[in-house]
Amino acid sequence: MHQVLPGPLHDYLAALLPERDATLAEMEAVAKEHSIPIIGPLVGRLLHQLARMSGATRVFEMGSAIGYSTIWLARAVGDGGKVYYTDGSASNAEKARDYLRRAGVADRVEVLVGDALDLLARTEGTFDLIFNDVDKHDYPKVFSLALPRIRRGGLLVTDNVLWSGQVVSPSTDAWTQAIQEYNRLSYASSEVWTTIIPLRDGVAVSVKLH
């Protein structure tokens, strides 16, 4: 698991968390056992809170894996809200469908399988929140593609933007370079106001200004 906080501080925050329900707890255990990338409960609560604070009812998720973050978002949008799940793996999507059903939010989620960037381009309308957790080399592309699709006052939220601290130094690694470029773009743009929260592996929160 990537994390940028010192271990004792991360453990302190984790110990404050209330226990998750049986479905989320099982997903956390499965993800740990099989090295499946999920955002974990610290970022899950943040994502849920951001969606609630912004009044999000229409959410597009880019890179959903087994649907862990999808459940946090789907519970935030409430009855009548909609979350678009995306993942390139049909196997992940099948697992996610089962977890979404067991979590009681399947009716709020549309499961899409394929490249998240292509799926966003093919899905009509604007969104209150877009959550970006795709392969890191696509992060700069996501910024330019997602921004026009977010309503004014809506949020673009991106995970792993501190990349275990690797972003602080020049790098020849393509994924690290792409994250560094995403961070530069998100702070330089006059269309959004961005803050990076150093929680877990770093979460960038950008609010659309106009």
How far is 155 from 193, CA to CA, in rounded Å? 10
- The answer to whether residue 12 sits within a structural domain is yes
Domains contained in the chain, number: 1
Give the pLDDT confidence of 1-49 residue by residue, as tens digits.
588 999 999 999 999 999 999 999 999 999 999 999 999 999 999 999 9
Residue 205: strand, helix, or coil: strand
Q: What is the mean pLDDT of residues 147-156?
A: 98
- The answer to whether residue 52 sits within a structural domain is yes
Judge contact between 165 and 146, C-beta under 8 A: no
- The answer to whether residue 1 sits within a structural domain is no
* Structural domain harbouring 192: 7-208
How far is 47 from 83, CA to CA, in rounded Å? 13
How far is 91 from 113, CA to CA, in rounded Å? 10
Contacts 24+ apart (CB under 8 A), 163-172: 163/2, 163/136, 163/201, 163/202, 164/2, 164/3, 164/4, 164/201, 165/4, 167/202
Give the pLDDT confidence of 97-137 residue by residue, as tens digits.
999 999 999 999 999 999 999 999 999 999 999 999 999 99
pLDDT of the residue at 1:
57
Residue type, 111: V
Q: What residues are paired with 85 via a beta bridge?
A: 111
Q: CATH no. for residue 122?
A: 3.40.50.150
Residues 6+ apart with CB under 8 A from 64: 70, 85, 86, 87, 92, 96, 133
- The answer to whether residue 130 sits within a structural domain is yes
Q: What residues are paired with 62 via a beta bridge?
A: 132
| 84: nearest Cα among 52, 135, 37, 123 | 123
Q: Following DSSP, what letter does each residue of 7-59 receive, concatenated? A: HHHHHHHHHHSPPPPHHHHHHHHHHHHHT----HHHHHHHHHHHHHHTT--EE
pLDDT of the residue at 2:
80
- The answer to whether residue 2 sits within a structural domain is no
Q: What is the mean pLDDT of residues 45-72?
A: 98
